[in-house]
Chains A and B, each alone.
Chain A
Amino acid sequence: MIPFIELALNGIVSGLVIGLAALSITLVFGVARFPNAATGDVMSLGAFAALAGASASGTLLIGGVFGIAVAAFVSLACYFLVFQKLSSRPPVASLLASIGVAFVIRAVMGVVFGHQQKVFDLPLARPWRVLDIRFHPTDLKISLAALATLVAVFLILHATPIGRRMRAVADDPSLARVSGISPRRIMVALWLLSGAVAGIAGILVGIKTVVTPEMGWDLLLPAFAAAIFGGIGHPVGAVVAGVILGIVQEVATPFVGFTYKIALSFAVLLAVLLIRPKGLFGTVAGAR
């Protein structure tokens, strides 16, 4: 039993991190209406920027803030340079362009930071044992950071005027326009927010694993799965779905093996799309 609990705990942590990536995707998907494949590479960029900031300033905190800022800014730049121009075209155009953007960001990272792995300089700690179950201090911090991000995004969406307008656009773009909401300001806020969340996700993945230019892209498929599973445009859904996927993947490993567990998120994605296209909490009827 204890191994299972430990696996599940591990799944929760992995899932929270994937959930944050899904949160970034679902924000854009809900309002700008396309799956943004550049999210993964914005994540990696955030992690690299945080590393650079941390080594320049000497503290991880300032580095982290810098990383988040860079990710948010690049995300906004992508909007102005590319996605804004495509907003009147079918979502496919934006999706294709986002893959292009992803490649360009990764190419720049490859040239600037190189392909050698980098790590956040954090001391490793031995676990705490509670009831013979191992808890890891680093995991706890990562989870808290992920939850704090989720709460912040939730507050922004529900307690600020710009957030409420964002949700209004997500629910019904044409109605929102009629009621005089300026789409431009909302889009700026949206892309900044989505970029910042991706940045945080990237930094957390970087702390948990190692930082390479490819790390974000490798997580894209599970993140898409979590975003769709949670219901497009639903922030809490994205994170909850991420956690569920994380737990399922870890706990199912003894049964499906170490190779096919990678395919699990895809299987869940397919099942959700075919059975309940709205996802867990979805309001946007829209898989078809």
Chain B
Amino acid sequence: MEAYLVAIAIVAAIYVLLALGLNLQYGLTGIINFGHVGFFCVGAYTAALLAEKGWPPLLSFSAAAALAMLAAWPMGLISLKLREDYFAIVSLGFSEVVRLVVTSEKWLTSGVQGITGIPKLFGGLATGLPNSLAVLAVLVAVNLLAIAAMRRIVTSPFGRTIEAIRDNEEAVKALGKDPAAFKIQVLMLGAALAGVAGAFYAHYIGYISPDQFIPLVTFQIWMAIIMGGVGRISGALAGTFILMLFLEGSRFLRDIMPFISEVEMASVRLGVVGLALVLFTLYRPTGLMGDFTRK
């Protein structure tokens, strides 16, 4: 039982990293990034390919973060030029292009066959439960690091500036601060977190292929931060918890709701994600944890 719970915790921790990144972008700056899975994908492939070449994890994970940031940089430039809903469409397109590139460039990514046999982290040191616990411990540490960094950002002049950008960009400009640089930095930071999440994902699942990086992943993270609470770190945690509870819980849902056939379960899962998005947007736009920046 423990190992199963640890497995869920590991996946949840990976999702928290994704949610923290998105939360930073949307919750704090109002950037609507519908292409989060693209950065996740870049991180996963970078880590997997470098691991194949025998790079040590510390380097390959840094490279995953760096490449995801690099991919975010042009997106940041574009986001400056576009109204946020236009940027949303562009970012959705971006993640689809990332998927097409990893599908198409077989020489690098082996295309639709995917990359197999990605080694486990700490595989040489321990196996089984101890190994999973070690991975989880590192993930939790990385999450705590990210959270600490975000807390600092929120309370720093930088944080106050990005929130001001979200609330009133013109006023920030009038004060002589350049919102552009802030926006780009925030987008890149969020992408870096997604890249690291991707690296963990690749090493944990051990097999990656383009069809694991579809937009639905992005929207699941969106569901998490919208349910948990936009702009709040605890919101990202709570939202991810609910998301995992729902995704894994639906395994047991059939025991409670026998009238839903197995085949319908996939539709029901999708419908619940959709309904959560609609209802929270309508009735509780600040999410379960509220938005502490607007007390």
Of A47-55, A173-181, A242-250, A260-268, which stretch is located at the interface? Answer: A260-268
Residue of A at shortest CB range from B105? A259
Chain A CB within 8 A of B268 CB: yes
Within 8 A of A (CB), among B239-295: 263-264, 266-268, 270-279, 281-282, 285
Chain A CB within 8 A of B89 CB: yes
A266 touches B271 (CB 8 A): no
Chain B CB within 8 A of A72 CB: no
The complex places the Cα of A259 from the Cα of B99 at a distance, in Å, of 10
Within 8 A of A (CB), among B8-33: 30, 32
B267 touches A111 (CB 8 A): yes
A263 touches B100 (CB 8 A): yes
The complex places the Cα of A95 from the Cα of B226 at a distance, in Å, of 13
The dominant DSSP class at the A interface is helix
A104 touches B282 (CB 8 A): no
B276 touches A274 (CB 8 A): no
Interface residue from B104, B263, B270, B278 paired with A260 (Cβ < 8 Å): B104
* Chain A residues in 8 Å Cβ range of B88: 35, 92, 95
The complex places the Cα of A56 from the Cα of B78 at a distance, in Å, of 50
A103 touches B93 (CB 8 A): no
Chain A CB within 8 A of B84 CB: yes
The complex places the Cα of A86 from the Cα of B285 at a distance, in Å, of 11
- B49-83 CB mask vs A (1 if < 8 Å, else 0) is 00000000000000000000000000000100111
Residue of B at shortest CB range from A41? B274
Known: A86-B281, A259-B103, A273-B90. A107 touches B274 (CB 8 A): yes
Chain A CB within 8 A of B182 CB: no
Known: A111-B267, A269-B93. A274 touches B81 (CB 8 A): yes
* Chain B residues in 8 Å Cβ range of A85: 282
* Chain B residues in 8 Å Cβ range of A221: 89, 92-93, 96
Within 8 A of A (CB), among B189-228: 219, 222, 226
Known: A104-B275, A107-B267, A288-B82. A224 touches B282 (CB 8 A): no
Chain B CB within 8 A of A58 CB: no
Q: Interface residues of B, CB < 8 Å — how many? A: 41
The complex places the Cα of A111 from the Cα of B269 at a distance, in Å, of 11
The complex places the Cα of A34 from the Cα of B278 at a distance, in Å, of 15
The complex places the Cα of A269 from the Cα of B82 at a distance, in Å, of 12
Q: Interface residues of A, CB < 8 Å — how many? A: 47
Closest CB in chain B relative to A83 CB, distance in Å: 10
A100 touches B277 (CB 8 A): yes
* Chain B residues in 8 Å Cβ range of A213: 267
The complex places the Cα of A228 from the Cα of B78 at a distance, in Å, of 16
B281 touches A100 (CB 8 A): yes
Chain A CB within 8 A of B86 CB: yes
Interface residue from A93, A104, A111 paired with B281 (Cβ < 8 Å): A93
Given contacts A96-B226, A270-B90, A287-B82, 7 further A-B contacts (CB under 8 A): A92-B32, A92-B85, A93-B285, A114-B263, A228-B86, A257-B104, A277-B86
Can you pick out 21 interface pairs between chain A and chain B where the beta carbons lie within 8 Å of each other?
A: A86-B282, A91-B84, A91-B85, A96-B226, A97-B282, A99-B222, A100-B281, A106-B267, A107-B267, A107-B270, A107-B272, A111-B264, A213-B267, A221-B92, A221-B96, A225-B93, A228-B89, A259-B104, A263-B100, A270-B78, A273-B78
